[in-house]
Amino acid sequence: MTVFPDRRLRRTRATPALRRLVAQTRLHPAQLVLPVFVKEGIDAPQPIASMPGVSQHPLDGLAAVVDEAARAGIGGVMLFGVPAGRDATGTGAVDPGGILNRAIRVAAEAAAGRLTVQADLCLDEFTDHGHCGVLDERGGVDNDATLEIYARMAVAQAEAGADVLGLSGMMDGQVAAVRQALDAAGHTGVVILAYAAKYASAYYGPFRDAVESTLTGDRRTYQLDPANAREGVEEALADIDEGADVVMVKPAGPYLDVLARVADVSSVPVWAYQVSGEYALIENAAAAGLVDRERAIGETLVGIRRAGAETILTYWAIEAAGWLRDGRDLA
């Protein structure tokens, strides 16, 4: 006698319409943010060899990029500056005429409130040694001297028109220092996005091409050890205590466990950054015919969202937003 199963869980998977009806994880274009690289001294987009489909943009072309992003319905753009010159203390980061602060002004005008203008707050793109802070006499990163520059950088970015400041330097006390500086300057409404659990990762490699990083060595003394999950949660809670409005886990894919743990305990929104290496791996695998490109992109975005990210920074933001608007399944 044949024994039939009492429960048939496959019933709700039978058609695309049924799968959409019972989907437990949903993603909206407004939950995507596009990282944008703005390079000083160029007059046309320059493709980034290690990131197929991604370019450095000239300042004159930024308004069009922001307009495209706004029309796509995504939640924001995260701006990174690539300056023509660098020095030991990253003076271009605090200069109102520096490339990043000029880009913020252009983006804010182009956005006109249709999306959020976000700015990377870190010194690595502006220092000639490539570290995220100033160096002490022994060549290590001086945490507290760096905080003083971050505070000035924050005010400069707020005055340029940034809605959200992305504190990515992983200095102890950076959220408190920036919040105090912003409030003292009258910028109480500017949002602090703390890159709370930012790991010392090999997945940042293509990004360093994108910003033309001058780093030698590594950032293991201030970015998190990939072996430590609990430490990522502790960092997030510390940033929340200091006044962070949003906390971030970065990279996203290799740290979904950390993302889930942070989301479980956070009292503020939790975001994740699908970084350059994650992007490049899929693009190159797809170009080699090893994976279905669109399904792989969609599956990773859904996985990040499922783990607890309420917003995802991704280089596929505009493309994925188009798929979502068209009602296509991402995974």
pLDDT of residue 90: 97
pLDDT of residue 328: 85
Domain spans in the chain, listed from the N-terminal domain onward: 27-325
Angle at 36 between CA 35 and CA 40, to 5 degrees: 150
pLDDT of residue 175: 98
Taking only the tens of pLDDT, the chain with its 331 residues reads 788 888 899 999 999 899 989 999 999 999 999 999 999 999 999 999 999 999 999 999 999 999 999 999 999 999 999 999 999 999 999 999 999 999 999 999 999 999 999 999 999 999 999 999 999 999 999 999 999 999 999 999 999 999 999 999 999 999 999 999 999 999 999 999 999 999 999 999 999 999 999 998 899 999 999 999 999 999 999 999 999 999 999 999 999 999 999 999 999 999 999 999 999 999 999 999 999 999 999 999 999 999 999 999 999 999 999 999 998 888 7
Catalytic residue among 198, 219, 261, 305: 198
Q: How many helices (H) and strands (E) in the chain?
A: 11, 10
CA pair distance 273, 131, nearest whole angstrom: 20
Handedness of CA 296, 298, 304, 308 (dihedral sign): negative
* Pairing of the two strands 270-273 and 246-250: parallel
Q: Catalytic site residue 39?
A: no
User: Which CATH superfamily includes the segment(s) 27-325?
Assistant: Aldolase class I (3.20.20.70)
End-to-end CA distance of the chain: 39
pLDDT of residue 152: 98
**Contact assessment for residue 93 and residue 86, using Cβ atoms and an 8 Å cutoff:** no
Q: What does each C-alpha distance from 176 to 26, 173, 196, 262 come to in angstroms?
A: 34, 6, 13, 20
Q: For residue 220, what are the contacts with CB-CB under 8 A and spacing of at least 6?
A: 200
pLDDT of residue 3: 81
Tokens of 226: 């990939």
CA pair distance 204, 209, nearest whole angstrom: 9
Beta-bridge mates of residue 77: 34, 117
- Residue 308 phi, psi (nearest 5): 130, 0
pTM of the entire structure?
0.96
